[in-house]
């Protein structure tokens, strides 16, 4: 139909062909009808390019004013019906034409639930038909002497559509009705041929769909209470039917998995209906959160496949588009934690059903992911730049990030430059300011594999002042530097592993973390594992920093299998010993008291207790302990893992004058309780209770 619109409509329209046929019948038989009681007519075939009818039986009774028409087979276009029967209880046949009221129509022995009136005036070339369906819906069709055809649908409900669909079997109706569950349409369609001041044929449609509902069996595509206003104008062109339309979604809601959408969008489009496809030359979609969205497209008519698309979006408000469109599509599990801000622009090209290119332009965009435990998490922005992608070739992405944060740590401005190819991305070195140092990400590669996004990188931290770092983290101020060289970082959705070492030079010694792993980095079970090695830490600085009294000397520590969940230790095997060497070893009375306080009532004992109040400091030969934390309990041992016969263990072995030993009696220490005590000692400088 669409490929040859002119040949179908211009001169020999369906309606006109019927009118001519009726005119011929009346001209031949009407004069005789006045003279006879009835008329019986048999016509073998009527044939026309647009229609054909076979074995037509017509019987008119003037006495009863009835008309019976039987057609064995009727074809209109590419649709056909068998055994059509029209029974008209009030009919007249005269020179003014044929008139029928209250006719019943049956197809193949089945009576259709509608009543039909029609009037045909062949002399004036006018035909009017009105269908009244049992639901109260009406369909009015009329054709005037200028060839103007009008169809008006009033209050046509879903059941009525089913009736008409069963009668007309339009393409796609079965599929459409399978998913439609409710709805009503009021519409007016007008066809006007060229002439009478019209330069060309034209078709206009005004339709309003209300209370429309549809749904697939699984509920993943559904709409309810939909109100749509459709305006369409079309005209035949050599290429097909040129059209322009506006569709306004005025009411209702829809779920197109995983997107929940509400009324508001308005589509303005123009294009051409071809025989095999629908071409959209120009379309704009008014959508909340988008300044402008325009596209062109080519859609297959048979399966409504999106063959070609060129889409351009500008002025996208990420605060709206993020939660409504981006997160449900890309990261539904993070819908409550992922937040967006700023503006975005985007382009997308699809050819032959395949994505050929897309690009995203960020304008002061912000992206943040809150931690699963309610913490601040991390975020980046404002972020500006261009991220293009091309199928089958490489492209370069350039982004300027004004800053960011990771929990309490602020990150400075940095650039991201990357080559994109297929599902792989290679990044140029990124230098991210971190306090007075620099986080350097080198040789960063990201790729999408079957198990998700995988990546690798080389990470270095150029020295960061411990003073600034501890200040930022809200910890007691420490002197020293933090640096890291982690040449083999591997990232997967389940784990980030760091080969290499992170080193803090603190308290005149150093703490080195190796075997670093972050497991389940983006989920509630996020936890860090590492081995720590501390050497030659100056106890004087350390105890001063933590207001723990005063201990002079140096210690080494090893913490194996340290596991941190939400930055709290949950397991480790730690040992701390005095560093080897010749140095001054003194412990203050307050430090002794604090150590004792940590043990709780009765947990620690101090030998030579009577001397404690007489001296400010005491000499010691060595100090140390071991703690194996598991299941919330720290299993303690003394210096070198020693344990005395009575189950006690020595933490400080005295030496010099006055000498002092500190003995622990409680080997099983509740870790949370111990941490609480340390915190209280540091915060409140509590007076220890000695026994």
Which stretches of the chain bind other proteins, using CB under 8 A?
215-220, 222-224, 253-255, 257-260, 328, 332-333, 335-336, 372, 494, 519-520, 523-525, 527, 563, 565, 570-571
Toward other proteins, which CB reaches closer, 567 or 583? 567
State the Cα–Cα distance between residues 512 and 476, nearest whole angstrom.
20
Q: How far is the CB of 497 from other proteins (least distance, A)?
A: 12
Q: How far is the CB of 670 from other proteins (least distance, A)?
A: 15
Toward other proteins, which CB reaches closer, 451 or 616? 451
Name the phi and psi angles at 94, rounded to 5: -150, -175
Toward other proteins, which CB reaches closer, 223 or 345? 223
Toward other proteins, which CB reaches closer, 257 or 644? 257
State the Cα–Cα distance between residues 527 and 509, nearest whole angstrom.
27
Q: Are 397 and 387 in contact (CB under 8 A)?
A: yes
Toward other proteins, which CB reaches closer, 25 or 629? 629
Q: How far is the CB of 567 from other proteins (least distance, A)?
A: 12
Total count of residues recorded for the chain: 691
Pick from 584, 593, 588: which is nearest to 554 by CA? Answer: 584
What is the largest distance, in Å, between two alpha-carbon atoms of the chain? 148
Backbone conformation region of residue 334, classed left if phi is above 0, alpha if psi is from -120 to 50, else beta: alpha
H or E segment and range at residue 70: strand 66-76
Toward other proteins, which CB reaches closer, 217 or 683? 217
Toward other proteins, which CB reaches closer, 379 or 561? 561
Q: How far is the CB of 544 from other proteins (least distance, A)?
A: 32
Q: Helix (H, G, I), strand (E, B), or coil: what is residue 265?
A: coil
Q: How far is the CB of 361 from other proteins (least distance, A)?
A: 27
Toward other proteins, which CB reaches closer, 195 or 258? 258
Toward other proteins, which CB reaches closer, 218 or 582? 218
Q: How far is the CB of 303 from other proteins (least distance, A)?
A: 24
Pick from 528, 529, 531: which is nearest to 558 by CA? Answer: 531
Cβ neighbourhood burial of 98 (10 Å; 0-12, 13-18, 19+): buried
Q: Across-strand partners of 38?
A: 61
State the Cα–Cα distance between residues 312 and 296, nearest whole angstrom.
9
State the Cα–Cα distance between residues 419 and 16, nearest whole angstrom.
65
Q: How far is the CB of 528 from other proteins (least distance, A)?
A: 11
Q: 276: which DSSP letter? A: S
User: In this structure, what token pair is assigned to residue 572?
Assistant: 């480790």
Per-residue CA distances from 290 to 293, 335, 346, 598 (Å) = 7, 20, 11, 61
State the Cα–Cα distance between residues 554 and 595, nearest whole angstrom.
17
Q: How far is the CB of 560 from other proteins (least distance, A)?
A: 15
Q: How far is the CB of 332 from other proteins (least distance, A)?
A: 4
């Amino acid at each position: 139909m669409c490929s040859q619109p002119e040949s179908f409509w211009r001169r020999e329209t369906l309606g006109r062909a019927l009118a001519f046929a009726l005119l011929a019948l009346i001209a031949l038989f009407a004069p005789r009808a006045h003279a006879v009681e009835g008329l019986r007519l048999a016509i073998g075939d009527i044939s026309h390019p647009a229609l054909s009818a076979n074995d037509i039986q017509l019987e008119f009774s003037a006495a009863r004013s009835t008309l019976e028409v039987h057609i064995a087979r009727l074809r209109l276009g590419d649709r056909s019906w068998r055994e059509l029967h029209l029974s008209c209880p009030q009919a007249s046949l005269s020179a003014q034409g044929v008139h029928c009221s209250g006719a019943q129509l049956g197809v193949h022995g089945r009576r259709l639930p509608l009543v039909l009136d029609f009037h045909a005036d062949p002399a004036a070339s006018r035909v009017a038909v009105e269908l009244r369906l049992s639901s109260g819906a009406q369909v009015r069709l009329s054709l005037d002497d200028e060839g103007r055809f009008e169809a008006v649908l009033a209050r046509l409900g879903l059941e009525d559509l089913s009736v008409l669909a069963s009668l007309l079997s339009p393409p796609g109706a079965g599929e459409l009705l399978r998913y439609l569950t409710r709805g009503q349409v009021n519409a007016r369609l007008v066809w006007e041929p060229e002439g009478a001041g019209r330069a060309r044929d034209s078709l206009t449609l005004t339709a309003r769909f209300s209370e429309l509902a549809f749904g697939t069996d699984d509920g993943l595509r559904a709409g309810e209470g939909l109100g749509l206003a459709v305006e369409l104008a079309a005209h035949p062109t050599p290429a097909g039917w040129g059209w322009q339309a506006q569709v306004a979604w005025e009411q209702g809601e829809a779920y197109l998995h995983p997107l929940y959408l509400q009324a508001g969008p308005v589509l303005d489009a123009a294009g051409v209906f071809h025989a095999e496809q629908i071409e959209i030359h120009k379309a704009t979609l008014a959508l909340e959160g988008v300044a402008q969205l325009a596209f062109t497209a080519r859609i297959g008519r048979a399966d409504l496949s999106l063959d070609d698309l060129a889409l351009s979006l500008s002025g996208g408000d990420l605060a709206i588009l993020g939660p409504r469109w981006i997160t449900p599509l890309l990261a539904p599990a993070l819908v409550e934690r992922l937040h967006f801000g700023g503006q975005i622009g985007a382009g997308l090209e699809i050819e032959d059903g395949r994505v050929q290119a897309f690009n995203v332009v960020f304008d002061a965009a912000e992206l943040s992911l809150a931690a699963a435990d309610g913490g601040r998490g991390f975020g980046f922005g404002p972020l500006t730049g261009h991220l293009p992608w091309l199928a089958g070739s490489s492209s370069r992405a350039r982004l300027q990030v004004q800053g960011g944060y990771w929990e309490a740590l602020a990150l400075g401005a940095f650039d991201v430059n990357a080559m994109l190819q297929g599902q792989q991305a290679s990044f140029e070195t990124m230098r991210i300011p971190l306090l007075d140092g620099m986080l350097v990400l080198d040789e960063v590669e990201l790729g999408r594999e079957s198990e998700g996004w995988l990546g690798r990188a080389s990470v270095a931290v150029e020295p960061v002042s411990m003073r600034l770092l501890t200040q930022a983290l809200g910890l007691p101020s420490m002197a020293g530097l933090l640096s890291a060289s982690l040449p083999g970082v591997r990232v997967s959705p389940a784990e980030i592993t760091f080969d290499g070492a992170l080193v803090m030079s603190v308290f005149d010694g150093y703490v080195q973390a190796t075997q670093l792993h972050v497991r389940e980095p983006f989920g509630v079970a996020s936890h860090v594992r590492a081995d720590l090695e501390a050497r030659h830490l100056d106890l004087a600085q350390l105890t001063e920093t933590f207001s723990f009294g005063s201990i002079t000397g140096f210690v080494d520590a090893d913490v194996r299998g340290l596991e941190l969940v939400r930055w709290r230790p949950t397991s480790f095997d730690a040992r701390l010993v005095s560093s080897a060497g010749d140095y001054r070893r003194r412990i203050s009375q307050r430090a002794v008291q604090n150590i004792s306080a940590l043990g709780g009532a009765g947990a620690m004992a101090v030998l030579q207790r009577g001397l404690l109040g007489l001296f400010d400091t005491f000499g010691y030969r060595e100090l140390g302990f071991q703690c194996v934390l598991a299941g919330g309990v720290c299993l303690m041992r003394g210096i070198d893992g020693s344990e005395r016969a009575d189950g006690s263990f020595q933490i400080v072995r005295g030496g010099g004058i006055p000498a002092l030993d500190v003995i622990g009696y409680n080997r099983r220490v509740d870790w949370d309780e111990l941490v609480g005590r340390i915190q209280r000692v540091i915060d409140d400088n509590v007076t220890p209770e000695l026994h």
